[in-house]
Amino acid sequence: MMTLKEAKRRLTWLWRLACSRVIYVCSGKTPAIWLYDTVDQPDGAVLRSYAHSIARNTGLELSEFGPSRLAFGNIIGTMDQFFSLVRYVAASDFDRQFSGLVIRILAQKTDFKKMEVVLVGSTKGTFAQAAIACADQAKIWEIQHGLLDPSYFPMLANRFFARSSSSAELVRRLAPGVLVESFFDCLEPPIGAVVPLEHEDVLQLNCFSKNPGGGCTAQELAQFEADCAQYAQKQGWKFSLHLHPRDNIAKLLVRHKRLLPLCWAANAYLPAVPTQRLIVSAYSSALISNSRTGDRLLNIRISAPDATILHEYRWLPTTSGAALHDDNVKLDVFFRNE
């Protein structure tokens, strides 16, 4: 019998497919399509500008396909599409059927069989996997969506657009058959230095949480968030909790249970103050993309990282959640000063 969680997952993907639109981006010599699963980070809107830039610089005639936000003008069409798809929710082989639906709709709205390039933010994405399985002749181009971790390997892409020279170097070493380009530098380690953490240098702790199930269990994630909240409370700092784009308040409530009041007691969700922030995360690119000059950065080890992760975060001081509660441990942080 299907669980409520599984039914929700299936309905969510059918709704995303019903909301998906084809948008023509730019002209060029090589027909290509940019696929994304969501308008939110890390797959959608953030990478869209990079996809467009790549298309213009490499001569792609690019269209894009993925969910769009529901607008008043397309409510009826979207609902009609959704109701035509919802009958698949009970399929015993839902994932295979869903992949077929993605390809069928792509074929209806584009010359998908003529596409020479499929451009994605992750080859592990749901729309991407459906397309890759059927795009026998097309080349797969992947844009790095975050700092490298084991989920990137083995690589399915023919061409990889790295967002840091460090990541490009690692991919060349681990996936020698992939053409790698350092097309962007937005995930380069920031300029700064490792310094001791002084209490008076911080007014607010900003905790950037992880994707539940993204390299850690819900229990480990809850403990990490609680450790950060308790540490901010003990130090007398304000506390701001920032959920991962694939997380939500409902999941937060479920995983915390009795620990949740600690977050509220520590003033969770307060807006960021202009200066004197300690940015804390657990092997997340948010430590680069969501920090700025003057911030102090600290990485928390939730679970044992592999060599890929250690390579990407080698510039950053790392500690355990338990160390936050030990008054005898002197913490080092990375002071961003560019």
Mean pLDDT of 261-274: 48
* Confidence class for position 268, pLDDT limits 50, 70, 90: very low
Contacts 24+ apart (CB under 8 A), 1-9: 2/90, 7/89
User: What's the CA gap between 159 and 136, in Å, rounded?
Assistant: 15
Q: What's the distance, Cα to Cα, between the start and end of the chain in Å? A: 56
What is the pLDDT at residue 42? 55
The last residue of one of the domains, among 128, 143, 158, is 143
Mean pLDDT of 185-196: 93
Q: Report CA-CA distances (Å) from 27 to 33, 49, 55, 56, 60.
A: 12, 16, 9, 8, 7
The two tokens of residue 40 are: 């939110």
Q: Are residues 196 and 329 in the same domain?
A: yes
State the chain's mean pLDDT as an integer.
88
Percent of the chain with pLDDT over 70: 92
The last residue of one of the domains, among 143, 163, 182, is 143
Query: What is the distance, to the nearest Å, from the Cα of residue 18 to the centroid of all Cα atoms in its chain?
Result: 22
In the chain, the number of structural domains is: 2
E-only strand ranges, 227-288: 238-242, 277-281
Segment 121-180, tens digit of pLDDT: 999 889 999 999 888 789 999 999 888 988 899 999 999 999 999 999 999 999 999 999
Q: Are residues 211 and 129 in the same domain?
A: no
Q: Are residues 243 and 134 in the same domain?
A: no
Q: Are residues 331 and 201 in the same domain?
A: yes
What is the pLDDT at residue 52? 94
* Residue 176 domain flag: no
- Per mean pLDDT, which range of 25-29, 39-43, 190-194, 265-269 is the poorest? 265-269
Query: What is the distance, to the nearest Å, from the Cα of residue 303 to the centroid of all Cα atoms in its chain?
Result: 19
* Residue 155 domain flag: no
- Element of type H or E holding 254: helix 249-256
Task: Give the global pTM.
Answer: 0.87
* Confidence class for position 235, pLDDT limits 50, 70, 90: very high
* Residue 228 domain flag: yes
Question: Which residue is listed with tokens 């015993």?
Answer: 92
* Residue 16 domain flag: yes
Local structure of 267: helix, strand or coil: coil
Range of the domain at 315: 192-336
The last residue of one of the domains, among 143, 178, 200, is 143
Q: Are residues 117 and 201 in the same domain?
A: no
* Confidence class for position 37, pLDDT limits 50, 70, 90: confident
* Residue 161 domain flag: no
Residue of 186, 177, 194, 97 whose CA lies nearest to 140: 177
Q: Are residues 114 and 27 in the same domain?
A: yes
Q: Are residues 73 and 133 in the same domain?
A: yes
Q: Are residues 128 and 239 in the same domain?
A: no
Residue of 191, 25, 203 whose CA lies nearest to 117: 25
* Residue 166 domain flag: no
* Confidence class for position 270, pLDDT limits 50, 70, 90: very low
Q: What are phi and psi for residue 271, nearest 5 degrees? A: -65, 155
Query: What is the distance, to the nearest Å, from the Cα of residue 107 to the centroid of all Cα atoms in its chain?
Result: 28
Q: Are residues 127 and 251 in the same domain?
A: no
Q: For position 21, which CATH number holds?
A: 3.40.50
Residues 205, 228: contact at Cβ < 8 Å? yes
Max avg pLDDT among 189-198, 208-217, 273-282: 189-198
The answer to whether residue 107 scores a pLDDT higher than 60 is: yes
What is the pLDDT at residue 45? 60
Q: Are residues 138 and 240 in the same domain?
A: no
Residues 302, 221: contact at Cβ < 8 Å? yes
Segment 48-73, tens digit of pLDDT: 889 999 999 999 999 999 998 877 77
Q: For the residues of 35-49, what is the DSSP string, one character each?
A: E-S-SSTTTSHHHHH
Residue of 155, 156, 149 whose CA lies nearest to 309: 149
* Confidence class for position 215, pLDDT limits 50, 70, 90: confident
Query: What is the distance, to the nearest Å, from the Cα of residue 135 to the centroid of all Cα atoms in its chain?
Result: 25
Residues 60, 28: contact at Cβ < 8 Å? yes
Phi-psi region of 59 (alpha: psi -120 to 50; beta: other; left: phi over 0): left
More confident of the two residues 38 and 25: 25
Q: Are residues 134 and 197 in the same domain?
A: no
Q: Are residues 9 and 112 in the same domain?
A: yes
What is the pLDDT at residue 192? 96
* Residue 279 domain flag: yes
Residue of 65, 189, 61 whose CA lies nearest to 125: 65
What is the pLDDT at residue 135? 80
User: Which residues are CB-neighbours of 4 under 8 A, at least 6 positions away?
Assistant: none
